[in-house]
Amino acid sequence: MAALRQLKAWSGRSFRDLARLARDRGRNLPASTLGSALTRPTLPSMDIVVAIAEACELPPEEVAEWVRLRRQLAQLEVEAETAAARATPAKADLVTPYLLPSGPTSFVGRRAELSRAGHILTAEGRSARTVLITGPAGVGKTTLAVRLAQLAVEHFADGQLFADLRGPHPQSGVSWHVLGVFLRTLGVSSHSVPAALEDRINLYRSLLAQRSVLIVLDNAAAGRDVQELIVSGPRTATVVTSRSVLPGLDGFRVPLRLLSEAEALEMVKCMIGEDRVSREQPSAFQIVNRCARLPLAVWIAGARLAARPDMPLSALARALADEHRKLDELTVGDVAVRASIELTYAALSRQQQEAMCHLAQINTVDFAPWALAALMDSSPADATKLLDDLVELHLLLVHYTDNAAPRYQMHDLVATFARDKAAQILRPVQTERARLRMLGGALGLACAAGIRINTDFDEVPFAAPPWSFSAHTRDAVLDDPLAWFKDEYGFLKTLAEDMLSSVPLPAAGLIVALAPFMQLSGYFDDWLHLHTCAMGAVASGPIGAGLRRNLGELSTIVDDYPAAERHYRAAIAMLDPADEARLASTSAGLAYLCRLQSRYAEAEELFGRAIDLADAAGNDNCLIYATTGLGVTLMEQGRRDEATTVFEESLRRSEAIGYLPGQAQAWRCLGQISRLRGDYVAAERNYRNAERISLSLGDQLTATHARCWLGDVLVKQGRAVEGRRVLAESLWIYRAAANRWGEAAALHCLAEAQLSAGRPDLAKRRAQVAVAIWTEVHSPYWLASAKTTLSRAQERLKPV
């Protein structure tokens, strides 16, 4: 102690200066703690010794010498106690211990936890009563444990023992030291405390075997230490708190959640008064939410406000809005959120600390193991092990999707802490490379998933992602590609948007790769927003052409035909003439658009070109899509036999390669041929086949294209009620998807159904809307059909 005081005097620094310098080095030790440590006769903790040595700016080798000296002195203390214990046999004149610390003056929430845990502690006839309270740093584990013990104290007439297992202990171990304290508290003289751990355990358990004692073990880190301190007597009970889940420990578990908004606000009211909160209620809500409803953070905020009655709540709310200052603001006296999280972080392995720093780069609500694997250049299996370790230490939360896939999440204040640590530990180039790996991994997985869900889109036009998983890993991750897209969509969308400005090519490539899933899921607003943003960053080249091609597809779906044609022609102009595969798919999209507008000569020419290009490129999906499109062009011109041959060829090719979208489209078109020929039984069978396949792909909109015409043929078979119900459902889906062409088709079929039911007035109203829509979107073939239906309805309304 004298040497440390001399070192402090030599440095010429005040305790406040030393505390500030220690905080700059990541050690949050208030000036009061440092000052009191240098005035006590006992050996200071290792943290304090290192903090003072570093703050005095000693070179690393001298700091290491102070560490060695402190360990040596600690060992001498242990040896002295051991020698004394060996000289004197154990003897105890038992006393009643009352070691519980004082609890908080106000206690908010946790009623259910208190009730359940209290019942366990006080239940009669249980041989081992252990309550394990777990949760992240600052969630209120110690407060709940002390409150629980205070409420149960009358059931334990022989006293209460309490120990903080996180405190500074000699190298001989936590339980050895705590057992010494407990034995002396129970009346065993210092000279009679056994030296060996096993002897201490046996004496401790023998003394408490028939006594009614409540034991509270706070901040347990290892299950073994706890097991050595638990007594199995019928009248004892133990409460354990830990940041780890301690999987090997038996007992009633009480996992603590964050406070609700109402509970957090109630805590602030108890500390500063309800009137003050009511006057600035919006600011009070901001404070508790910027504290992420973590009890320790809310308590610190309340304590700061209580210490400064004139401080506006809005001032603290503004200070907490600054992510760079938030953890520094959440400090009062010797209590700090940063220091609380730091204790957990310091106990992590180097790899776990690195994982925490890398996870701070993720800006989404949750993430999957593959994201950390990419950040750390490891495998998903290794990443999952790291993530589960961090979950056990309550640094991460985990939940499971409907597909039983794990999603991990970092608490807001832990994420803020991790970002600060990342800035200290990771060099900017390390962070940049890690994020690029994550983007590359996402791009590779999204491309592979898009191909596997069998849509009409090309593989993303990007030659080499900046980093990618092995084929084996991709197969494992993408076991169910559609489910993977559903789980990852929010993560992928945010990642692409975040990185578009810094690395535009791969980020825009990821946006292109998301189009198949956005089409299947009907995320048309996102489709437009993301592609428009990406075009601002990448306006040419293969990715620019891919963006334009996808926007052409989207504009066609939402019936904006002029915009669709501009996008398709711009994409064709950007592509290299030798890029046959992408020229084929873009030409097929433009051909489809021309067919919708009854520009049949152009459509035939473009579909023919797309078929030749796709065949040369070996792009079977596009070949089938273009072939079916050519068949529809022939059908709409009345060339039904030629069209039937083309559709049957498309179906054969699709079944041969397992291309489900092609099969669905071919069955739907064969249904149209049967319908036009009046073979409604065959038409129903074909439409149902098309609907079934599209639904298996998760493509509700394409399934509705078949279901709409299914409703029409049901009506034509005399099943009017069933048919009208199917048509009404189709109309609802089309309107929800903003698909104007489909809306007109459903209304047209409903008009025909009303005519069949003898209700020409209703038929007229529906036909009029169909005519208006097909006029608006310029679809001559179907406009002519709707006009015919409208004319028939008007004819029937004429007086006889």
pLDDT tens by residue, 91-132: 455 678 888 887 766 677 888 888 888 888 888 766 668 899
> Which residues of the chain register pLDDT less than 50?
85, 87-91, 168-172
What is the per-residue pLDDT for 656? Answer: 95
**What are 282's two structure tokens?**
């919006």
pTM more than 0.75:
no
Q: Which amino acid is at 277?
A: V
Report whether CATH 1.25.40 matches the domain 659-738. yes
Say which CATH class 348-426 falls into.
Answer: mainly alpha
Contacts for 87 with CB less than 8 Å, ≥ 6 apart: 191
CB-facing half-sphere around the CA of 497: CA atoms within 13 A: 15
Provide the pLDDT for residue 415: 86
3-state secondary structure of 255: strand
651 vs 578: CA distance, rounded Å: 29
Instruction: State in Å, rounded, how far the first CA of the chain is from the last one.
Output: 116
Outline where 273-376 has alpha helix (H). 274-279, 281-290, 295-307, 313-321, 326-329, 337-346, 350-359, 369-376
Contact 490, 365 (CB under 8 A): yes
Angle, alpha carbons 534-535-541 (nearest 5°): 110
Q: For residues 207 and 180, is the Cβ–Cβ distance under 8 A?
A: no
DSSP 251: S
The length of the chain is 800
Instruction: For domain 111-255, give the fold.
Output: Rossmann fold (3.40.50)
Q: How many CB atoms lie within 10 A of CB 124?
A: 7
pLDDT of residue 454: 66
Query: d(Cα 164, Cα 249) in Å, to the nearest integer?
Result: 18
Indicate the helix (H) or strand (E) that contains 653.
helix 640-657
- Tokens read off for 749: 């079929």
Q: Phi and psi (nearest 5°) for 253?
A: -95, 135
Domain definitions of the chain by residue range: 2-85, 111-255, 261-340, 348-426, 659-738, 739-800
CA 31 to each of CA 9, 22, 52, 338: distance values in angstroms, whole numbers, following the listed order: 15, 10, 11, 16
638 C-beta neighbours (distance < 10 Å), count: 9
Residues near 521 by beta carbon (within 8 Å), at least 6 away in sequence: 486, 489, 698
At residue 290, the pLDDT reads: 87
- What pLDDT is stored for residue 125 in this prediction? 64
Nearest-5° Cα angle at 721, 720 to 724: 80
- Residue appearing with tokens 């290794």: 382
